[in-house]
Structure 1
Amino acid sequence: MTRPLTAAQRRLIEAADPGTGRLKGTEAQLTALVKRGLAFRHPRPPHDHFLTPAGHRAREARNEPPRQAEVEAPASSTGVFAARAGGEPVPPAAEGPARTREVGSAWQGMLELRRMTNPDASTERPCAWERTHLVQAAALALEAAGHRPAGADGEDGYRVRDTPQPDAVAVYAPDAAVLRACAETLEGAGWQAGEYTEPRTRRRYVLASPRRV
């Protein structure tokens, strides 16, 4: 059974920077949040601590729920829609022109959601829903642009994965050209994207986060 947060831990999480999730506290307090999976220590100096996605959820759970328009997923013309992050099994019937139309409809719905919920009605950058559904949002932008997701059988294609970093996802692709194209698509969809190399595996990936301005 997970132990409830202490009052001090709750105050620490609620006081985190609303944009970056940066935390301030004693080393012991921050270490305790790291052990609970609610924070992580940035590997680069000055080694600040930030909320993980779980930490963000813990903070949001104590706040008033957002407007309904901000939490509804973009729907396609056929109803419930899920963008493909890559690697999941896909029924053969879900492929082809019908899927293309469904993805296009969902992307138009996302742009409308941006227009409705961004303070300045901008469709140029991600909205609140995308910031709380990072993998789904990034995958939709990629699939809507025509990129192919990886298949469950290991078929080459992009894979979008969550990361310990707040407000960021990792995108993997079979070769440098595809990876670069994915980064360009996300940048065009209002994300900040940069290529990095995993220290141990030397595997290249794109780290992407929703642009705020």
Structure 2
Amino acid sequence: MTASDGFDTPEATDTAGRGAKPLDRLIEAVGACQDRQAFQALFAHFAPRIKSYLMQSGSDAGQAEEVAQEVMITVWRRAALFDRRLASASTWIFTIARNKRIDSIRRQRRPQIDFEDPAFVPDPVAPADRIFEEGEDAERVRAAIETLPEEQRALLRMAFFEDKPHSEIASLCSLPLGTVKSRIRLAMTRLRKQLKDE
């Protein structure tokens, strides 16, 4: 980025070859020894400018304030990575601001997961007697299925235990779709009758 990007400020500009610019030196002081005074000076200079940039980019005041603080925290933590040969202090910091703004927009578009949502709450553990009854019921159903003709057992297994659609079953068994449906219906009727008679 260059001065035409609107990121460089008068205080950050200097003629090439005169050594480190004042703001560059401040970041280098923070990176070298976590100089708090240097950071305070950076914060006072950049935080309002970052907030203004974010608001001009469409953020509301509260969001802009929050992102500006995130940017300055990142500057504090990553100041040692700054290299004035690659970018000026202003360009480096406003690049961080732009990236943080993008992150903020992504967070807004991706709603937070509510782990209290019933979909995420596991079902309560059933009482032992209920588990026992369900086991007995499952055993009765298995025994009833075994009394069906093999062809009907195979169709039920594919439809209910393997969760295959009727059209796929018809294709696998080389049967018309209507035949598959009627045989499954017939098997279910026999199953219900047998379970009821018990």
* TM-score, structure 1 as length reference: 0.20
Larger Rg: 2
* TM-score, structure 2 as length reference: 0.21
Q: In proportion to residue count, which structure has more helix? A: 2
Q: In proportion to residue count, which structure has more strand? A: 1
